[in-house]
Amino acid sequence: MADNNRPVSHGKNVVGQSNGVNKRGSGLGTGPVGNQNYNGHKNSSSNNSNGGKRAGGGSMLGIIIAIVVLLLGGGGGLSSILGSSGSSGGTGMTSTNTSTSTLDTSVAQGSRAKRTVIKGGGDDVITIMVYMCGTDLESKYGMATADLNEMKNATIADNINIIVYTGGCNQWKDSTISSTVNQIYKVESGKLICLEKDMGNAAMTKPENLTSFIQYCTSNYPANRNELILWDHGGGSITGYGYDEKNRVSGSMTLAGINTALKNAGTTFDFIGFDACLMATVENGLMLTNYADYMIASEETEPGVGWYYTNWLTKLSNDTSMATIEIGKNIVDDFVDVCAQKCQGQQTTLSVVDLAELEATVPSELSEFAKDTNSMIQNNDYKAVSTARNGAREFARSSNIDQVDLVDFAMNLDTKSGEELADALKGCVKYNRTSTNMTNAYGLSIYFPYKKAGKVPQVVNTYQSIGMDDEYSKCIQEFASLEANGQVTASSSYSAPNVSGNLGGILGQMIISGLGDGSIDLGTLASLASGRAMSQDDQDAYIAANSFNADNLIWLMDGNTYKMTLPEDQWSLVTDLELNVFYDDGEGYIDLGVDNVFDLDDDGQLIGEYDMTWFGIDGQVVAFYHLDTIESDGVTTITSYVPAYLNGERVRLLVVFDNEHPDGYLVGANTDYNNGETEAIAKNVTELNAGDKIDFICDYYSYDGTYLDSYYLGDTITVSDDMEIGYLELPSDAVVKATYKFTDIYQQVYWTPEIP
């Protein structure tokens, strides 16, 4: 939120006239492709006249809690249901690019001695273990083969062993690697030398498989310096590492699983690195401190090129006694520089964390921060915590994994314990670089519930298994509990407005889905309820005093303009505001998505006008979903996505607007998995190539609000160097329903009546 308690909108440039909006073909059976979590159910109570209402006191909530307690024998109240996936259109928090070219070689007093002893003089022997689960990153895009070629192109010293374990892929682009069984290779003299032709078919995400590889390396290639690199998808603190496309039911290797694998391997490392997405988390670091001196990982989703191996391996070969943080710096610099060249517009992060210092300084500071934050929640200051969380740098926004930069979050809360925690964290991060369009990323993230709070019990179990202090668990349980109660109180009485064309049916459906990501069940509710300290009466009283009143969501004529007037205290409860547009094609509604474009008058009130434009590519209007707006040092960067098929593969095309490209440009694509195939996040496809085929897709609804299916939208287009990107005027005879979507501090969503 901005300082004047108003959301921030972005401008748009209209580049031409669209050639129409039409779905084609048969339904695709993909399930909804938008980021609004429609759940396919109609709302039977969607016939209120103006704005919906919310009841005070949480009476419906009390009934729900009573049912949970009776069925499960649990105590306390409802704890956690998560709202829709609204994205921040700008929060008013200070945005800072946190890249640094300075390597911090200091070590905090009280830190343990490093586990690896470097001999010096170039006499050190190094074994680099690369655990490479190729998966669809390789079978579709050849990313693993590209990185293996980078390793082969390096000049490797005789006292460096690069051992690679391959598997988890249906089809390796390098034909020398088996797609049938797991294998072990050595990178030597510009070649891949096969050491073990058949290591079986065990899932790469099984801890015992990683353990056996590490033990193989230490037994056959003993060294005084060991390094471990885990290559694949990454899912951060909840999901962990890896996705094996040959063994999909095996899931990922959680942090608890990684902990088990490393403990059983009985080896310690100079560094453990993740050439994977989202693994630079505090939880991961605190777990890894038992096994390594440094962690090298990314807070954000990695671009598809991943780490660039040639340069840093060559430099290490020239000096095998190089300090580990120097190795890390070289890895970070090569990665960020190559991504800037090859992956323009994609957000990039990579940091080097001193795990000895993390272990010595962060647990106590995190515990105090958690206690203070928990106290704020219990003492009627939940809104401040929610606002700080909403304003914190969030990673993998489109996936709603709820990981935020912990330094940014701690500083947003503006407490003494937050400041001390931020200082400790910044001390542990010895080197951190980001792309110019990434702000407020200081090198370490953490899970904090907001979009998928139903994951809290799973996270708490993970924390217990890796030995994290339970004060932070108590904090996130308390926050999730109050967030959920705020949502349930709102949703129990709020119905979408009934507007012409039965749009209210669609909106009512959205509101039902606003209760969560589908992962909440009675067992989860009971588990969350047992983790809170605040009484139900106190929660109800707080929610009643800090409730968004949907009665304000009505359009009133002011002169010649419709406006929506909210009191100042109501604006302070709004975390996001987005425009949602539906196109009537004569048979039903095409959902065109959400965008953070809106107009506020001089008094800060919402103006009820829609200019009949929407984002398009090559003259075609597309379904379009805003993700993130960053304003830093006079530069505004907006990231959004378009659901599509790229050469027959389901993806989310990434669209970026910045000062140099005000009309936007396509920077690449993320794989979009169907039906929960994996919760781990894939590296971005590095680029779109001339000749690639794109089919846009959209969600489609009947007039009574039933989700019918998802369809192709418009015609197939071919990627070229002169594709036109920007906002397009809709046909003059188009019939559309435009509405604004408000998100409150509890992540409950509300839709306005149709803009008149």
pLDDT reported for residue 98: 76
Q: How far apart are CA 284 and CA 269, in angstroms?
A: 15
Contact 269, 288 (CB under 8 A): no
Residue with tokens 């994994």: 401
Is the pLDDT reported for residue 72 higher than 50?
A: no
Banded pLDDT at 61 (limits 50, 70, 90): very low
> Residue 389 class from Cβ within 10 Å (0-12 exposed, 13-18 middle, 19+ buried)?
buried
pLDDT above 90 covers what percent of the chain? 65
Average pLDDT for residues 673-690, to the nearest whole number?
77
Tens-place pLDDT, residues 359-398: 999 999 999 999 999 999 999 999 999 999 999 999 998 7
The pTM of this model reads 0.88
Non-local (6+) Cβ contacts of 519 within 8 A are 452, 454, 455
Banded pLDDT at 94 (limits 50, 70, 90): low
pLDDT reported for residue 453: 81
pLDDT reported for residue 495: 57
Banded pLDDT at 182 (limits 50, 70, 90): very high
Q: Which residue has the higher pLDDT, 525 or 446?
A: 446
Torsions phi, psi for 639 (to 5 deg): -115, 135
Dump the DSSP string for 138-159. HHHH-HHHHHHHHHHTS---TT
pLDDT reported for residue 697: 97
Rounded to the nearest angstrom, the gap between the alpha carbon of residue 692 and the centroid of all alpha carbons in its chain is 27
Torsions phi, psi for 124 (to 5 deg): -75, 140
Tens-place pLDDT, residues 226-285: 999 999 999 999 999 999 999 989 999 999 999 999 999 999 999 999 999 999 999 999
Banded pLDDT at 525 (limits 50, 70, 90): low
Average pLDDT for residues 602-606, to the nearest whole number?
89
pLDDT reported for residue 569: 93
Which has the minimum average pLDDT: 354-358, 648-652, 655-659? Answer: 655-659
Rounded to the nearest angstrom, the gap between the alpha carbon of residue 99 and the centroid of all alpha carbons in its chain is 20
- Token pair in block for residue 397: 């926004």
Banded pLDDT at 680 (limits 50, 70, 90): confident
pLDDT reported for residue 48: 31
Is the pLDDT reported for residue 564 higher than 50?
A: yes
Rounded to the nearest angstrom, the gap between the alpha carbon of residue 120 and the centroid of all alpha carbons in its chain is 41
Tens-place pLDDT, residues 135-179: 999 999 899 999 999 999 999 999 999 999 999 999 999 999 999
**Helices first, then strands: H and E counts in the chain:** 19, 32
Q: How far apart are CA 287 and CA 153, in angstroms?
A: 34
Mean model confidence pLDDT for the chain: 85
- Token pair in block for residue 454: 């139903």
Is the pLDDT reported for residue 329 higher than 80?
A: yes
Average pLDDT for residues 707-733, to the nearest whole number?
93
Contact 528, 80 (CB under 8 A): yes
Q: Hey, which of 406-420, 517-531, 664-678, 741-755 has the most confident mean pLDDT?
A: 406-420
Q: By C-alpha distance, which of 296, 134, 127, 154 is closest to 231?
A: 134
pLDDT reported for residue 36: 56
pLDDT reported for residue 395: 94
pLDDT reported for residue 528: 62
Banded pLDDT at 415 (limits 50, 70, 90): very high
Residue with tokens 């496309």: 245
Average pLDDT for residues 590-604, to the nearest whole number?
91
Is the pLDDT reported for residue 677 higher than 50?
A: yes
Q: How far apart are CA 382 and CA 744, in angstroms?
A: 12
pLDDT reported for residue 524: 56
Banded pLDDT at 5 (limits 50, 70, 90): low
Residue with tokens 């001695």: 113
Q: How far apart are CA 56 and CA 541, in angstroms?
A: 9
Banded pLDDT at 631 (limits 50, 70, 90): confident
Non-local (6+) Cβ contacts of 193 within 8 A are 185, 186, 187
Domains of the chain with bracketed CATH: 14-82+479-751 (no CATH), 126-360+430-443 (3.40.50)
Residue with tokens 């925690």: 421
Tens-place pLDDT, residues 454-512: 889 889 999 999 999 899 999 999 999 899 888 877 766 555 554 344 455 555 544 43
